[in-house]
Chain A
Amino acid sequence: MSQGRGRGYTLVEILIALVILLVVAGAMHRLLLSTQRLTRLQARQSELQSALRAGALVVANELRELGPHDLLRLAPAAVTYRAMRGVGFLCQTPTPTTLRVARQGFTGHRDPQAGRDTAYVLLAAAESTAVWQPLAVTGVSAGSSCPGAVRSGIGVTVPSTPALLGLEPGTPVRFTEVMELRLYQSDGESWLGARSVSAGEPVQPVIGPLAAGNGLALEYFSGAAIPTSDPSSIRGIRVTLRGQVDGGEREESLTTVAVLRNVARP
């Protein structure tokens, strides 16, 4: 038997080893915790950036389709507007109460909806330029048929309008809905909300939570990039969305400018 075989560690050796182990384990624990916290923060920041980007896209896409005449109410953190919901073309001469729109060539996120949308029909005038005639949509038949090769269509019922009788197939029809976008509070948090004014719906969250107070900022500009509150001279809207992570530890903001496309349309 060798001399050292039966010799154990002394109490001092074990205590020193334990202290070193505790110090090393503590340092590693702190390192892991801080790395984990950073990862979580990064993930939340990344989610916020994605949400802001999605929100900016939604808002800009909505506003870009408008003209100054589509802006109905303006505020620094809210806007009410006539949103474009679809464009189609008549596939046959309408009756005074029914428009038949070809499914082929119809472009929009959804079909027209009764009680929500307004149809604008381009009525030709003999001596001057045509006018967009607004007509409330009172009924929709999604499975309507069109004559000839077009076949599939959307039947739209409107209040009796004798002026529709002379319209040619191919006449364009726009469908719009009055919408409101605004910053609103829910459960103590701020959200970007949207609601259909024409359908009388309550506000629905789009993205959030955003920074309280200044989570949504809308600035209205004229053609010369001068701030204006006169709807008829507005040519662009600057949209800023702000959000916070971990109670304001980090803030993200995203600004986009929507230049109104339909300035010329009366």
Chain B
Amino acid sequence: MKPDRRGIALPLALFVLIAVGALVGGTFFLGRLEQDSGRNTLFAAQAREAAEAGVSEALAGLEAATLESTVIGAPPLPLGTVVLRPGVSAITNVRRLTGTVFLVRAEGRRLAPGGIVLASRALGALVELAPAGGNGEPRVVDRGWFSAY
């Protein structure tokens, strides 16, 4: 009968491979989590930028006549959609709060190619229809922006 000469090289190599593999796998997993977290932060930032662009765009084109056509308690009046680039856009509207104060709202969205919403952020801006200036036209005055949750 021949002596058992198999040794422990194979089990030892397997053990080391599994241990190193587990450690390397853990590192990759952490990296993946970081990547996902960073991507979500980016999507949220894109949605927020879209909302900011939406409010800016809406305020820039807002006319006193548009505001005067709204009624207190009525559904918001759509002001249009601002598209920053494919998948990043904002929907804007305005509604009358009091006789002279209005709320412009923009909801910025970051969409996946399939149309799934990856992130959305909303911003509001308070607008006042101030008494007429030198040209006899009522003035649209920005009274402050805020994050809408």
A interface, CB within 8 angstroms of B:
5, 24-25, 28, 31-32, 35-36, 38-39, 42-43, 46, 49-50, 53, 57, 61, 65, 67, 84, 87, 89, 107-109, 122, 124, 126-130, 132, 168-172, 174, 261-262, 264-265
Contacts and interface: CB of A to CB of B under 8 A. Distances in A.
Closest A-B pairs by Cβ, 3 of them: A170-B97, A265-B144, A264-B142
Contacts of A38: 23, 27
Nearest to A27: B16
B117 interface: no
A257 to B, nearest CB: 12
A129 B149 contact: no
A87 B124 contact: yes
B23 A35 contact: yes
Contacts of B19: 32, 35
Contacts of A65: 145-147
Contacts of A122: 101, 126, 128, 143
Contacts of A61: 147
Contact of B101 (A42, A87, A171): A171
B146 A107 contact: yes
B20 interface: yes
A90 to B, nearest CB: 9
A117 to B, nearest CB: 15
A89 B145 contact: no
Contacts of B103: 172
A202 B49 CA distance: 34
B118 interface: no
Interface string B129-147: 0110000000101111111
B73 to A, nearest CB: 9
Contacts of B41: 53, 57
B100 A32 contact: no
A35 B52 CA distance: 46
Given A31-B16, A46-B34, A172-B97, 20 more contacts: A5-B1, A31-B20, A39-B26, A43-B30, A53-B38, A53-B41, A57-B41, A87-B148, A107-B149, A124-B98, A124-B101, A130-B128, A168-B98, A169-B98, A171-B97, A172-B101, A174-B146, A261-B52, A264-B142, A264-B143
B24 interface: yes
Interface in B1-46: 1, 12, 16, 19-20, 23-24, 26-27, 30-31, 33-34, 37-38, 41
A171 B139 CA distance: 18
Main secondary structure of the interface of A (DSSP, over half): mixed
Q: Which size bracket describes the interface of B in this complex?
A: 35 or more
B112 interface: no
B64 interface: no
A31 B16 CA distance: 9
A35 B143 contact: no
Contacts of B78: none
A108 B56 CA distance: 22
Given A170-B98, A265-B144, A129 B130 contact: yes
A50 B41 CA distance: 11
B80 interface: no
Contacts of A129: 128, 130-131, 139, 141
Given A107-B149, A130-B100, A171-B98, A50 B20 contact: no
B84 interface: no
A109 B38 CA distance: 23
16 contacts: A28-B16, A35-B23, A38-B23, A39-B24, A42-B30, A46-B33, A84-B147, A87-B148, A107-B147, A122-B101, A128-B130, A130-B128, A132-B144, A170-B98, A172-B143, A262-B145
B144 A174 contact: yes
A245 B66 CA distance: 57
Given A171-B101, A172-B126, A39 B27 contact: yes
